[in-house]
Structure 1
Amino acid sequence: MSNIKIINQVLTLFFMMLMGYYGAKKGFINKTVEKGMSELLLNITLPFLIVTSFNIDYSEELLGNALKILIYSIVIHGSLLLVTKLLYIKNKSEKQGILRFVTTFSNVGFMGYPILNSVLGPIAVFYAAMFNMGFNLFLWTIGVRLLDNNEKGSFKKAITNPSMIAVLAGIILFITPLDLPLPIKEGVKHLGNTTTPISMIIIGSMLSKVKMKDLFSDLSLYYGSFNILILVPFIVLFIMKTFRIEKSLMEICVIIEAMPGATLAPIIINGYGKDASYASKAVFISTLISMITIPIIIITVI
């Protein structure tokens, strides 16, 4: 894909994001609407997009690549949990945990899948879904403990969230002769295709809540954003190039790692009844800066 096409795809996504920002500022996308859209995305449209991505002809090559990218995901997330301990060793314990979380776990659901789908097509979503299995495994077992030391983590949550169930359903459809009835298949496809605009509108709405004074209140947020958006993806790119990993799989891994911090961080902290303001700022600022860095990373890696 040419640089012009990549830039046009990214600008299209940012236009959708701008509409979410506009809607929130005008008041017709309020907190209730935003929450409802988030639930719709996480529980219906995103799982359907994942299932649709597995609707491809089975081949040994695809299966082999899927297993490879799952292994890459496990290695990347496991390594980041160790590396981030060093990156944020000087930060206070609570901030350190949040910064380690948002650096290790990128925003795959709201931004990773839609951007990969727009830039590289459905096959990239297929591989990203396999990559996300490693993401979920670490997030719900070790990641949650970064946000709350008293939380033990849950393997059950790692394998029972809607996206993981969609991956497992997709794998069954991929490796067996089973197929969905046409009306259901088409319905799943069309609903899945709404994931990109819905996710961009949600991100735009979330960004509308950022106050200018919050952008300059804590330099650790910028250090974190640099690590999330620049350092980590370029380290992944360098290592994968050094080991001569397949270009198509390398592109997906690097683009996913170039996404801003996972929006799950403030959501999980809220669930523990704690102050999620620092986590929210970390996610918002990295998302804001990613509007500049994502196109650069995509053009660099593709």
Structure 2
Amino acid sequence: MELLTAFGSIFSIIIMIAIGYILTKKEWIDKAGAKLFSKIVINVSLPALMINSLMADFDRAKLLSMGKGLVVPFLSIGLTYLIGKIFIKVFNVTPKRRGTFLSMFFVSNTIFIGLPVNLALFGSESVPYVLLYYIANTTFFWTIGVFEISKDGGGETQGFLSMNTIKRIFSPPLMGFIVAIILILLAVPVPKFVMDTCRYLGNLTTPLSMLFIGNTMYYINLKGIQFNKDVWGVLLGRFIISPLLVVLLCKFFPLPGLMASVFIIQAAMPVMTNTAIVSKSYDADYQYAAIMITISTVLSLFIIPIYKILLQ
């Protein structure tokens, strides 16, 4: 019964992904349409959601206490990266896939899947904690993650502190987060019509994200998937090692109950969707990345309810 209750909390997400898949099959949404959804979410709805959620739920004192939680996601992701390095040798990962494998092993899909899942499981109070994990996750991906992927292609590698990397880290959602923090710390009053606008735009995030995932899944050829060591290694990192490290770290760095739960769920998210895009840009094995995005996304819909039960 508990499993059905937990599964029911994200059943609406499964339905929206299915709708995205069906609409793509009926040719109502094509790749260009999905790209538009992605742009709207990243550049419009997510920044608006950050501003509305933070300013609605936090004051200056609560915000300052929240910042202490950053140590757990940064430490857990960093440790997962080091363990991933060991796994590459243990699993003898295919040479041209090692950077992509490592990136998928230690960073997760904290926005397109992580945010709507946490909203479904814990409500709007979880959004600020989702963003804390997102800060660590996106920093690691656009520095170490991209650097590792770039080595797979054999061409010019991505520098850690290039201007391009810095621009990607300071993405619109993160800028929305920073703007909200500044407004809260300075106690700047925001007109109601501005907050209402942010709330309406922010509400677009979950449905557009799920339609985008459904569209992406439609274009993946599932027939060619082989569950070999390169696949099992990533799944082990995503769904077992990463969340388990958060659980262990929370014993050394005690966190409020909701914050710890959100971090665990975020750590158990599927492969980051940007991995395939970056892999293709560096002439790495982007098809492998795309397959892992699909497999991990589908499996997460069944694994997340189990984590929800364990957190109760």
- TM-score, with structure 2 as normaliser: 0.89
Q: Which stretch of the first structure deviates more once superposed, 149-158 or 247-256?
A: 149-158
Query: Residue in 1 aligned with 2:136?
Result: 134
Look up the equivalent residue of 2:54 and give its one-letter code: F
Give yes or no for contact 2:10–2:117 (8 Å, CA) kept in 1: yes
- Once residues 244 and 288 of structure 1 are traced to their aligned partners in structure 2, the CA distance between those partners, rounded to angstroms, is 32
Which residues of structure 2 form unaligned runs of 5+?
Answer: 152-156
Does residue 74 of structure 2 align to residue 74 of structure 1?
A: yes
Give yes or no for contact 1:139–1:158 (8 Å, CA) kept in 2: no
- Once residues 97 and 26 of structure 1 are traced to their aligned partners in structure 2, the CA distance between those partners, rounded to angstroms, is 36
Give yes or no for contact 1:141–1:158 (8 Å, CA) kept in 2: no
Look up the equivalent residue of 1:28 and give its one-letter code: W
User: 1:164: how far off?
Assistant: 1.4
1:195-226 Cα shifts (integer Å, max 9, x gaps): 11111111112112232322326442133123
Give yes or no for contact 2:23–2:29 (8 Å, CA) kept in 1: yes
Among 106, 110, 116, the residue aligned to 2:112? 110
User: 1:231: how far off?
Assistant: 3.0
- Once residues 228 and 29 of structure 2 are traced to their aligned partners in structure 1, the CA distance between those partners, rounded to angstroms, is 29
Give yes or no for contact 2:217–2:294 (8 Å, CA) kept in 1: yes
Paired residues in the alignment total: 300
Give yes or no for contact 1:97–1:147 (8 Å, CA) kept in 2: yes
CA change 1:129–1:77 in 2 (3 A) is same
Give yes or no for contact 1:230–1:293 (8 Å, CA) kept in 2: no
- Once residues 125 and 18 of structure 2 are traced to their aligned partners in structure 1, the CA distance between those partners, rounded to angstroms, is 27
Among 95, 98, 112, the residue aligned to 2:97? 95
Look up the equivalent residue of 1:76 and give its one-letter code: S
Q: Which stretch of the first structure deviates more once superposed, 243-252 or 104-113?
A: 243-252
Give yes or no for contact 1:54–1:173 (8 Å, CA) kept in 2: no
Give yes or no for contact 2:72–2:246 (8 Å, CA) kept in 1: no
- Once residues 138 and 108 of structure 1 are traced to their aligned partners in structure 2, the CA distance between those partners, rounded to angstroms, is 12
Query: Residue in 1 aligned with 2:40?
Result: 40
CA change 1:103–1:187 in 2 (3 A) is same
Does residue 181 of structure 2 align to residue 171 of structure 1?
A: yes
User: 1:130: how far off?
Assistant: 2.0
- TM-score, with structure 1 as normaliser: 0.91
Q: SS in structure 1 opposite 2:111? A: helix
Give yes or no for contact 2:96–2:284 (8 Å, CA) kept in 1: no
Does residue 31 of structure 2 align to residue 25 of structure 1?
A: no
Look up the equivalent residue of 1:260 and give its one-letter code: P
Give yes or no for contact 1:107–1:259 (8 Å, CA) kept in 2: yes
Does residue 93 of structure 2 align to residue 83 of structure 1?
A: no
- Once residues 176 and 87 of structure 2 are traced to their aligned partners in structure 1, the CA distance between those partners, rounded to angstroms, is 34
Does residue 294 of structure 2 align to residue 284 of structure 1?
A: yes
- Once residues 241 and 143 of structure 2 are traced to their aligned partners in structure 1, the CA distance between those partners, rounded to angstroms, is 25
Q: Which stretch of the first structure deviates more once superposed, 104-113 or 270-279?
A: 270-279
Which residues of structure 1 form unaligned runs of 5+?
Answer: none
User: 1:110: how far off?
Assistant: 0.1
Look up the equivalent residue of 1:250 and give its one-letter code: A
Q: Which stretch of the first structure deviates more once superposed, 153-162 or 263-272?
A: 153-162
Q: What percentage of residue pairs aligned between the two structures are identical?
A: 26
* Counterparts of residues 151-162 of structure 1 (less than 5 Å): 151-153=158-160, 154=162, 156-162=166-172
